[in-house]
Structure 1
C-alpha cells in the first residue's frame, strides 16, 4: 500500500488539459512582464533627475522579487497545491498593479520599485506553471507539456505591448497609469483559467519523503548543465531586453516603437514552443540548448551593426528565439534530474539560481548602457555563449559514452 501511495499520477490526458488551461492563463497574466519591461525603465528615467543609470532598477526589483519568491512558491505549492498557489499569487498581483498605477499617478520612483518587486514575487509562482503542466505527464510528454504552456506567451507577447500602446496616455499627463490598471485586469483573466486546474497534491508518502540529499542532486552533470544554461540563458535575454527600450528611446525612437520591439521579442520567445518539445525529443536536449545559444550570438552580432529601428527589432526577435531553445531545453533537461518527491524542491532551487543571476544582469544593464553604451551590452553576450556551448558539448559527449557502455 505504501508503494501505491507514493506512486505519482501519470495521466497525459489530464496533463494536456492542464497545459491548455495554463497556456490560456499565460496568454493574459503573461502579458505583465512585457508591460513592466516596456514601461517601467522609461517611466523611471522620467522620474529620476540625478542618476539615469538607475532607470532599470524597477525591472531589477521585478526580477529580484521573482528570485525571492521561488523558494516560498515551491513550499506553498507542495503543501497546498499548484492551483491554490497560483490563485493566491495572482490576487496579490492585482494589488501590486494598483500600487503601480498609484506610483505612476503621484510620480513615486520608490513605490514603483515596490510594486514591481511584488509583481516579480507573483511571477515566481507563474514561472512554475511550466513544471505544473508536467506533473501528471509521462516522461515522453513532459517536454511537450512544458512547451505547450509556453505557447501562451505568443498571445501574451501581443497583449502586453498592445496594452501599453492603447493605455499609456489614458490618464494624461500621468504616463502609464491606465497601463498598470489594465495590468491588474490581465491578472484577473489569468486567475479565471487557473481556477479550473486539476493537479493532484503529491501523495502523502511522497510529501513526507524528502528524497536524496541536495548535495547528491547537485553533483549530477545534467543538473549542473540544466541550471547553468538556464541561468545564463535568462540572464542574457534580460540583459539585452532591459536595455533595448532605453537604447531605442535614446536613439530618437518612440515609446510605441520600444513597445512594439518588445512585442516582437516576446512573440519570438514563445512562438517556437509549438515545436520545441518535438525538437528536443528528436535531436536531444543538448542540440536544442546549443542552437539557442548560437542564436544569441547572432542576435548580438546584429545588434552591433547599427541603431536603426529594424536592427533593434531584428535583434530582439533573434533574442527571443535564442531564449526559447536554450531555456525550454534547459527546463526540460532539469526534469530528468529529480525524483517525484524532489520536484518542488529542485524546481524552486533552479528558479532561485536563475532569477538571482537575472537580477544581477538586470541591474547591470542600466549601468552598462549608461556608462559604456549599447555596443558593450551586446559584446557582453559572447563570453557567456562560449561558456554554455562548452557545457552543452561536454554533456553530449558524456551521454554518447554512456550509450556505448
Structure 2
C-alpha cells in the first residue's frame, strides 16, 4: 500500500480524535448551557451543519486546486474552530461554543475527502483496501479522543471540558504538518475539462441510489443513537467515565473492522457486507431495547459501530462504480452532502427525540430506516461492482 495511504490514515486518526472528543462532551456541554431541551444537541448539530456546508465546495475546490491545498485550508479552519469553542466554554456561551463546533465540522467535512484521496494513490484493485486503511485510522482516534476528554478535565478552571481543546489544537497542528509533507496528486486537467452527466441521469442508476441511501441511513442512525447515549446513560445514573468508556469501545467498533472490511468486500461482494452492516445495526437496537445497564450500552454501541463500518465503507466502495472520472467531484460531493445531512438530522433530533420518545422509543424509531436500506441493497440481487461498472456509458 502506498505511503500516501498510510499518511492519510494517520491524518484521519488525528482528525477523528477531535470528532470523538466532541461526541464525548458536546451533549453534556449543551445540557449545562442550553435553556431548552431541544438545544442540548445544538453543538453537535452545528458540527454536522459545518460538515455539510463543506462537502460540495471542498470536492470541487480539490478537483480544481488539488487535494493538498484543500486539506491545508480545512485544517486551518479546524484550528480556528478549536479556539472559538474554547472561548465559548470560558464565557459559558452556547452560541460561541456551537460556532466553534461548526468550524470544526467544516474541517471534518474537508477531511472526509481523505478516503477519496487514497483511491487516487493506488490501483483500482486496491480501492476497497485503501478505503479501509484510511478509515482504520479511527482506531487510534478511539484511544486519543475519549482519553483526552478524561485526562484534560483539570487543565482549565473555567470548565472541566475546556482543557480538551488545548489538546485538540495540538492534534490539528500535527495533522497540518503531516498533510503538508504528503505527496498528494495534483488535479487532472482532462478530468476538469470533459463533460459530466446531469444529476437526473446519474440518479437513474439504482446502484448510486442504493450507495447513497446506505451511507445516509448507516451514518444517520449511528449518530442518532450515539449522540443520545451519553444523555441516556446520564439519566440512568452512569458516571462520565463510564460514558467515555462506552463511547471509546463504540469507536473501536466503528474502526477496528476496517482492517479486514476491504478483504471481506473483495471476497463476499460489497452488497453482502452492507447487508451484514444492516444486521449489526438491528442487533444493536435489540440490545438497547433489552436493558439499560452498563453492559447493554457497551454491547449496543459496539454493534452500532460495526454496523456503521460495514454500511459506510461498503457504500463508499459501491459509490466509486457509479461515476465516470470527470464526474468524481460532482458525485462524491453530493454523496457527502446527503450522508452528512442525515447525520446532522440524527444529531439534532437525538436530544429532543430522547425527551419525546425515551431511550426505547428512539431505538424503535431507527428500525424501519435500517430495514429500508437492507431492502434497497437486497434488490441489487447478486449484482457486483464489476458488473455495475460495465453498464456505464
**Match of 2:27?**
41
TM-score, normalised to structure 2, is: 0.95
Equivalent of 1:291 in 272, 276, 286: 276
**Match of 1:150?**
135
Give deviations 1:179-220, integer Å, cap 9, x for gaps: 112111111111122112222223212211232233222111
RMSD of aligned alpha carbons: 1.6
CA distance in 1, matches of 2:191, 2:49: 31
The question of 1:264 aligning with 2:243 is answered no
Write out the 4+ residue segments of structure 1 that deviate beyond 6 Å after TM superposition: none
Equivalent of 1:94 in 67, 79, 85: 79
The question of 1:181 aligning with 2:169 is answered no
**Match of 1:24?**
10
Equivalent of 1:67 in 52, 55, 64: 52
Contact 1:90 1:191 in 2 (8 A): yes
Q: Structure 2 unaligned segments of length 5 or more: list them.
A: none
Greater CA drift, 211-220 or 27-36? 211-220
CA distance in 2, matches of 1:230, 1:115: 26
CA distance in 1, matches of 2:162, 2:195: 46
Q: Structure 1 unaligned segments of length 5 or more: list them.
A: 1-12
Q: Secondary structure at the match of 2:380?
A: helix
- 1:398 shift after superposition: 5.2
Greater CA drift, 376-385 or 208-217? 208-217
- 1:359 shift after superposition: 1.2
CA distance in 1, matches of 2:216, 2:256: 21
CA distance in 1, matches of 2:292, 2:65: 49
**Match of 1:376?**
361
TM-score, normalised to structure 1, is: 0.93
Contact 1:60 1:360 in 2 (8 A): yes
Give deviations 1:32-82, integer Å, cap 9, x for gaps: 11111110110110112x412321111011111111110111121111111
Aligned length: 388
Contact 1:57 1:113 in 2 (8 A): yes
Q: Secondary structure at the match of 2:154?
A: coil
Contact 1:104 1:112 in 2 (8 A): yes
Q: Secondary structure at the match of 1:296?
A: helix
- 1:349 shift after superposition: 0.6
